Amino acid sequence: MPVLTDIATLGTCPPVGGQGEIGLIENAALVWEGGAVAWVGREADLPDEFADLPRESAGGGTVIPGLIDCHTHLAFGGWRAHEFEQKLLGTSYLEIARQGGGIASTMKATREATKDELHDRARGFLDEILRMGVTTVECKSGYGLNVNDELKQLRVYRRLAEEGPQRIESTFLGAHIVPPEYKDDRARYIRLLTEELIPQIANDGLARFCDVFVEDTAYSPEEARTICKAAATHGLRAKLHVDQITDKGGGVLAAELNAASADHLECISEEGIDAMASAGTVAVSLPLATMYLNLESLPARKLIDAGVPVAVATDFNPGSAPSYDLHLALWLACTRQRMTPAEALKGATAYAAKALLRDDIGSLLPGKKADFVVLDAPSVNHWMYHFRPGTAMRTVIGGDTAREKKNTPELSS
């Protein structure tokens, strides 16, 4: 049962309060036991019962809850670097999709990859992601788009979850696009999703969420309704890729379907914002995808003012967001979406946990999991302002040190 001291600033990131309320404590101490937080507060107020516990130093850094990347497409075959150039030269994401590139080309490469190949690559990504202090990662299927290959992706995620150290949450995204072999009979593919894949995935506990990409090149709102309602009868909660490139009433749809989150939302309408606020749906902002696709940012300030919790994630995937740098996504949420560093941090901790329906992670409060990061920065504000790689000095998951930077006795900020 250790005590962490010499913490310049600690953000508890409570699930309650507004977007910017991160429960800052200066000169803090943190006590954990059996994988959970036992006490947090000012070091000067450390209760007598903890006074003689072994002490560990945070070296004058900042302590935050372990970061949560609540939207990724982690396991996939191949890359699509040539599309990056095409997009820079003016071909749009939807045009590339209509020409048979985009998701369909990653589907092909993912089908060709073995389960072990997908696993080893995703393992490598997770190891890199851990270096940034990310302790929980949501992972979507959606590049298999048939029974065997969707299950293959989800089983890779299950194996990664079993291996640790990061916590993994899986989402079934069989409705990413309609695979080419079903293009003349989409209804038949939707029946495959609702009558075969969803029941099996729910039965095998392979995912907690069911996601649908609602877009001209993917699924209509009506099709999303059918798929999400079937998923709900099997206990899978909806998540939606909506209002990214065209406004399809995604915010209203997410509220109607009691979705855990609506993600992207660059084109969300005022009506959509109001509906999400009333339903308490989390908006997941994906600023890396916004930048790669050269879109206008989602209206973060309007969402926050309306009372919608805004989470921030990477959307890591080989097409629209080929980067897993959550710190960079948070910095973009600040600079492009005009969120404060505190608001962005809450979006990758307490509100990201909410987007995953997890009430045991994302906050450093007694009883929550002892998932935390020691940052080489004197404050949250400074961490985001003086943006640079390698700021996570020590990452603890469930009370155990998952990674510690070596040979850095003194923090440099």
C-alpha closest to that of 263 among 160, 151, 347: 347
Nearest residue to ligand NIG, scored by beta-carbon proximity: 319
**266 near Fe ion, rule: CB under 5 A:** no
Peptide bond between residue 165 and the one before it cis (omega within 30 degrees of 0): yes
Nearest residue to Fe ion, scored by beta-carbon proximity: 315
Segment interacting with ligand NIG, rule: CB under 6 A, options 24-32, 119-127, 186-194, 319-327? 319-327
The entry of Fe ion, ligand NIG, none near residue 102 (CB within 5 to 8 angstroms by kind) is: ligand NIG
Residues 6+ apart with CB under 8 A from 201: 150, 151, 154, 172, 207, 234, 236
Which CB atom, from 242 or from 304, has the smaller least distance to ligand NIG? 242
Nearest distance from C-beta of residue 317 to ligand NIG, angstroms: 4
Q: Is 315 helix (H, G, I), strand (E, B) or coil?
A: coil
Which CB atom, from 248 or from 403, has the smaller least distance to Fe ion? 248
Site string for ligand NIG, 210-229 (x = CB under 6 A): ---x----------------
Nearest distance from C-beta of residue 251 to ligand NIG, angstroms: 16
* Burial of residue 108 (number of CB atoms within 10 Å: 0-12, 13-18, 19+): middle
Structure tokens at 127: 């190891």
Residues 6+ apart with CB under 8 A from 393: 59, 61, 373, 374, 375, 376, 404, 405, 408, 411
Identified binder of ligand NIG from the candidate list 64, 103, 283, 298, rule CB under 6 A = 103
Which CB atom, from 65 or from 318, has the smaller least distance to ligand NIG? 318
Strand (E) positions, 148-278? 167-175, 209-213, 237-242, 261-264
**243 near ligand NIG, rule: CB under 6 A:** no
The entry of ligand NIG, Fe ion, none near residue 103 (CB within 5 to 8 angstroms by kind) is: ligand NIG
If you search the block for the tokens 């740098």, which residue do you land on?
325
**320 near ligand NIG, rule: CB under 6 A:** yes
Segment interacting with ligand NIG, rule: CB under 6 A, options 101-109, 227-235, 363-371, 385-393? 101-109
Structure tokens at 165: 């150290």
Segment interacting with ligand NIG, rule: CB under 6 A, options 115-123, 193-201, 318-326, 341-349? 318-326
User: Could you tell me how many residues of this chain bind Fe ion (CB under 5 A)?
Assistant: 1
DSSP state of 193: I
**315 near ligand NIG, rule: CB under 6 A:** yes
Which CB atom, from 106 or from 395, has the smaller least distance to ligand NIG? 106
Q: How far apart are CA 114 and CA 22, in angstroms?
A: 43
The entry of ligand NIG, Fe ion, none near residue 213 (CB within 5 to 8 angstroms by kind) is: ligand NIG
DSSP string, 103-143: HHHHHHHHHHS-HHHHHHHHHHHHHHHHTTTEEEEEEE--S
Identified binder of ligand NIG from the candidate list 179, 319, 347, 399, rule CB under 6 A = 319
Segment interacting with Fe ion, rule: CB under 5 A, options 17-25, 104-112, 308-316, 384-392? 308-316
Q: From its phi and psi, is residue 358 left (phi > 0), alpha (psi between -120 and 50) or beta?
A: beta
Identified binder of Fe ion from the candidate list 69, 149, 215, 315, rule CB under 5 A = 315
Nearest distance from C-beta of residue 232 to ligand NIG, angstroms: 22
**314 near ligand NIG, rule: CB under 6 A:** no
Which CB atom, from 46 or from 218, has the smaller least distance to Fe ion? 218
Nearest distance from C-beta of residue 156 to ligand NIG, angstroms: 17
Identified binder of ligand NIG from the candidate list 15, 23, 65, 102, rule CB under 6 A = 102
Nearest distance from C-beta of residue 153 to ligand NIG, angstroms: 13
Residues 6+ apart with CB under 8 A from 76: 106, 109, 110, 118, 143, 317, 318
Burial call 174-197: b when 16+ CB within 10 Å, e when fewer: bbbbbbeebeeeeeebbebbbeeb
- In angstroms, the first-to-last Cα distance of the chain is 29
Q: Which residues bind Fe ion (CB under 5 A)?
A: 315
Q: Which residues bind ligand NIG (CB under 6 A)?
A: 73, 102-103, 106, 213, 241, 244, 289, 315, 317-321
